A and B are shown apart, each in its own frame.
Chain A
């Protein structure tokens, strides 16, 4: 892979005079590119339907387990917050260990057992040193299978959540994200955010019911990453999770997904703001969209990194922001597109206009091959770099299962991104991006930024409770 030309001539550690072997005036040419091959891993399905993936990584003497339940807040139904509270309580006591004992046992070994919930899934992770593998698996399976949902712990989380909600009213990014979900998804569950009323309305029994209905081995996958051998770890997993009974996953009853029509600016007035948080949003397809790898190149061109157009325009040309990026946020049943920037008050209106201009430009003006070549390579190379991270590999393997992606998705991923043409970029941008049917969320000092925003489009003002303000 590397050039061997100089090896016979120069020996280790000698100070070598700087000959003109290199030409400083030109960018050096790369050696032949290494292949981005998705790592091998072992897949097994336990008799109860639990899918298990084992990914070997012997760089560290550690092991990580990651269980995905394929139900998240989308399965809350009328009990808003059920998924999130269920996740929060998993490591706060089991039928045989109270919260204090569970904390002491994990902390004592430097083991972490943590859970979190998202729109489509709950993730429970456990990690620690391989010398404690048995113990980690014991604590982990106990948290997953036998959580106590003790009343006292439930009330603590309720109280903490109410305080957190109070704090979030002052955090510009929290305000922006909550309102963004609402204006894109409306009453579809992806648009929900937790309110104090939801929190006080929840009962312990709601979590017990959620756990009972959704925590099923046939509604889950488990990845193991670390310095463990599949043949040794699989029997331990069978022992820990084998008794878990399969069941029928309840069907979801969902309203229709709304569509964004026209351009509306949703302005959250946060007095005292010295900067505005901007999110330009439009509808997007779900995660299993067949154009996803190619669409990555489109997004990278517009706003994927330091070399994206948004960053180059809003930061490097205008100096309006520290960063401006865009991304598709793909969920299981729908997605959205988000272009963001944080700008000082006086340039907020112009920054929104400039983001819209860049979205329109990628849809209508052909890009140069040179620019697309850079973005192809940026995507392919960074994908290759990401393969170094084995927990990321675990997440990808479980994503295939969670989102119903083709089994070879990551095997063909790099190759597909590597052949995208400028014509394809324009075609896909036309298909998936819009500068006219957009919802624009801005959090900032309304009295300073509203007049400029009104030049861009209709403005609806909200207070920090995210309630529309009527004048």
Chain B
């Protein structure tokens, strides 16, 4: 591209200007994104509906979020919410067993579902001429899903294989299970959504039906639709399919708070298939809607996003002690944690990994972050945010999540402002506040056959 002379001069000017800006992080500017337009409303039965009309491609994404997850389970029925998610593919009063997938596949679409600590979600992606099919199936499942003995028996076996595949047969596969047990001890976050399989065996059909009646209610659900549809006829269809579902009693939400440990806790997990030493440092942090959540995200970026991040530079690049390292806030509805996980290079001792992570975290707490790091983290979040909501499926999912967990659907357009509202000194503050040495959890996976430590443990 040829630049007109005066544009070239402006471009040249921009260089010194940006250098000035780098030293003055007081007023970072952010990109203006095309707003994602939507309408939202409640049906009389309490179902929250969010519609994002967008004709870019002839596709629609439907997303149904039930505000129930593993934290709603009893401690002697862990894995229940996830197991129930499998049962929701069985059928309904009007849909014969095993037909849901066939209808969606046969319409040229795809489907899936997932269960986490706080929610269970169901999604379809379809060519836009099949909107009614999606509404029919989701409303059938919400109105009168069918739970019979045959389906329960098959899915019991399937879920056990899912657990073996994802967790039990993988090196470090139990990491999150162990981490949750430590950091969230004494709360319903202490177990992971896959749960313990024996409880699913113990559960009766009646318990599944009760669970359905308690949580799979329009007043506990959000329906988001994004894509190629016309607003008014779609509103009417949504009313026709979902309107007749009776409202249920209010849902009792578990109330609990995660607390700090009274002393540092170290736990080693010995597994025969652990190939390399690995360690996790974790701290109890905040719930996802806490204002400090954004400072914690930026802290995570400064510690480990990209090869210029602190932990990467120190552990992977300089010392060559770790194969990879990641600092990640894991924030949920009722509480959260910040974890730092590193896998050691072959032959590197766990103590060495622990020491390096400690040093970097302590340094950040003592000295804070530089203006350059602060700006870099904001720019990384900006790039992620701008590229995050491209497809109709991601839009439907995030619209629903922002509504349910933040009570502000429009965060899909504005959440980036919250990152930019964090001040540089906030990052040091949250590091000091949450990453206390005296309340740190250390979870270690010693490599099989290798000694866990070369010298006596430092702690």
Contact = CB atoms under 8 A, between A and B. Distances in A.
B160 A344 contact: yes
B122 to A, nearest CB: 14
Contacts of B101: 305-307
A408 interface: no
Interface in A304-360: 305-307, 312, 315-322, 342-344
B216 interface: no
A13 B230 CA distance: 14
Contacts of B228: 1, 34
Interface residues of B, number: 102
Contact of B323 (A167, A232, A315): A167
A24 B171 contact: no
A315 B436 CA distance: 47
B89 to A, nearest CB: 8
Contacts of A100: 308, 313, 317
Given A61-B33, A128-B383, A377 B240 contact: no
B219 interface: no
Interface stretch (A2-10, A202-210, A241-249): A2-10
Interface in A19-55: 19, 21-22, 24-35
A396 interface: no
Given A306-B101, A322-B162, A13 B41 contact: yes
A235 interface: yes
Interface in B120-149: 125-133, 135-136, 139-140
Contacts of B16: none
Nearest to A10: B236
Interface stretch (A214-222, A267-275, A452-460): A267-275
B200 to A, nearest CB: 13
A317 B155 CA distance: 10
Interface residues of A, number: 99
B132 A30 contact: yes
Contacts of B389: 60
A26 B95 CA distance: 8
A384 B132 CA distance: 18
A343 B164 CA distance: 9
Contacts of A128: 383
Interface stretch (A73-81, A155-163, A255-263, A279-287): A155-163
Interface in B142-170: 153-158, 160-162, 164-166, 168-170
Nearest to B43: A15
A344 B139 CA distance: 36
A94 to B, nearest CB: 14
Interface stretch (B56-64, B202-210, B355-363): B56-64
Given A160-B345, A163-B345, A108 B128 contact: no
Interface in B21-51: 31, 33-34, 41, 43-44
B317 to A, nearest CB: 7
A275 B107 CA distance: 34
A423 interface: no
A381 B109 contact: yes
Interface string B332-371: 0000000000011110000000000000000000000000
A7 B233 contact: yes
Given A61-B31, A103-B308, A316 B154 contact: yes
Interface in A379-419: 380-382, 384-385, 387-389
B379 A109 contact: yes
B379 A170 contact: no
Nearest to B95: A27
Given A232-B1, A319-B158, A156 B320 contact: yes
Nearest to A305: B105
Contact of B164 (A1, A10, A274): A274
Contacts of B384: 110
Contacts of A380: 108
A106 interface: yes
A61 B386 contact: yes
Interface in B228-248: 228-237, 239-241, 243-244
A102 B230 CA distance: 47
A167 B275 contact: yes
A172 B165 CA distance: 10
Interface in B379-420: 379-384, 386-387, 389-392
A30 B131 CA distance: 8
A315 B162 CA distance: 11
Contacts of A29: 132
B240 A12 contact: no
Contacts of B241: 22
Interface in B185-208: none
A109 to B, nearest CB: 6
Interface in A206-239: 232, 235-236, 239
B307 interface: yes
Contact of B382 (A110, A127, A166): A110
B102 interface: yes
B309 interface: yes
B240 to A, nearest CB: 5
A389 B168 CA distance: 34
Given A159-B345, A164-B323, A307-B101, A319 B157 contact: yes
B430 to A, nearest CB: 21
A441 to B, nearest CB: 16
Interface of B: 1-2, 31, 33-34, 41, 43-44, 56-59, 94, 98, 101-103, 105-111, 125-133, 135-136, 139-140, 153-158, 160-162, 164-166, 168-171, 228-237, 239-241, 243-244, 272-276, 305-309, 313, 316-317, 320, 323, 343-346, 372, 375-376, 379-384, 386-387, 389-392
Given A34-B128, A60-B390, 4 more contacts: A6-B233, A12-B231, A107-B380, A273-B169
10 contacts: A15-B243, A21-B240, A29-B132, A34-B228, A160-B345, A163-B344, A167-B343, A272-B272, A382-B108, A388-B392
The 9 closest A-B pairs by CB, nearest first: A381-B108, A110-B383, A319-B157, A34-B58, A107-B306, A103-B307, A28-B132, A31-B129, A374-B106
